[in-house]
Amino acid sequence: MVCESWKTQLDSYLDRELPDQEMRAFDAHVRNCATCSADALSGVQLKRAMQSAGKRFTPTAEFRQRMLRSIASKPQRTFRLGWMLAAAVAVVLVVGAITSTYLGNRSGSDQVFSEIADLHVATLASSSPVDVISTDRHTVKPWFQGKIPFAFNLPELQNSDFSLLGGRMAYLEQTPGAQLIYNVGKHHISVFIFQERALPAKLSDRSLDPRRLSFNMQTWSRGGLRYFVIGDAAVSDIDGLARLFKNAS
Ligand SMILES: [Zn+2]
């Protein structure tokens, strides 16, 4: 089995401990191999989950064993091809950023940005990325009514390169919010909207350095709502979609 040799190196890959040349070869393989990208993704998610859980409590040995068993038995092979490839690219990006993310204490705002990136990656990897599938903002917007404690406007996309794929509920810590998923070219972009006062950290409006975050992101606040636009699309596309949202709100 050709993937067996990759699998033995997966942990080292996720920890970025392989030599540069092997890291690049592994990146290339993960982009094209559904099995290995699924394994890498669950490895990334496990690391992230353990990292944030580790800040909240210390698990007992039995609890740890139980968690590891439940994770090991979870089927991970139900990817649809398009989303799977997007997820594979996202995995490569996240693995690239993992070292900087895991070293040292992160500030509250960095933690929020990292969780937003996780939500975006989890969406790309999900077998049902959207809860309401529609390209029509007049269908997507009312779907959120009664599900989240605020209303928002979605931009008109005519004469733009963006298309709306749909939306889903998003949770940051325990705060409910809206996630809209857009396409531009081959890239998926998520737009997250939360109530500013419900967020766990005070944030400032800015664009984020993709070398630190592994995605391009822009965030701003308007009318008591905090917006995040994130994706592996070009900075100009992230800015373009952000501008459409700012004009609509
Ligand atoms: Zn493989």
Beta bridge pairs of residue 176? 171
Residue 207: strand, helix, or coil? strand
> Which residue did the predictor score with more confidence, 162 or 4?
162
Of the pLDDT bands very low, low, confident and very high (cuts 50, 70, 90), residue 23 is confident
Residue 96, pLDDT score: 60
Residue 227, pLDDT score: 96
**Residue for token digits 């990136």?**
117
Residue 181, pLDDT score: 95
Residue 85 Cα to ligand 1 middle (Å): 13
Residue 175, pLDDT score: 87
Q: What is the mean pLDDT of residues 209-223?
A: 78
What amino acid is encoded at 143 in this protein?
W
Of the pLDDT bands very low, low, confident and very high (cuts 50, 70, 90), residue 39 is confident
Q: In the sheet where 206-208 sits, what is the strand order?
A: 132-133, 163-172, 175-184, 187-195, 225-231, 216-222, 206-208
Residue 49 Cα to ligand 1 middle (Å): 24
Residue 245 Cα to ligand 1 middle (Å): 39
Residue 97 Cα to ligand 1 middle (Å): 21
Residue 56 Cα to ligand 1 middle (Å): 35
What residues are neighbours of ligand 1 (ion), with CB under 5 Å? 3, 33, 35-36
Residue 50 Cα to ligand 1 middle (Å): 25
How do residues 52-108 score in pLDDT, each as one tens digit? 666 666 667 777 777 777 776 555 555 466 666 677 767 776 666 554 444 433 567
Residue 240 Cα to ligand 1 middle (Å): 36
> Which residue did the predictor score with more confidence, 57 or 169?
169
| CA torsion angle 18 23 26 31 (round to 10) | 150
> Which residue did the predictor score with more confidence, 92 or 151?
151
| pLDDT over 70 percentage in the chain | 80
In terms of Cα–Cα distance, which of 166, 182, 153, 178 is closest to 247?
Answer: 153
> Which residue did the predictor score with more confidence, 97 or 50?
50
Residue 100, pLDDT score: 44
| pLDDT over 90 percentage in the chain | 29
Q: What is the pTM of this model?
A: 0.62
Q: What is the mean pLDDT of residues 131-152?
A: 90
Residue 133, pLDDT score: 84
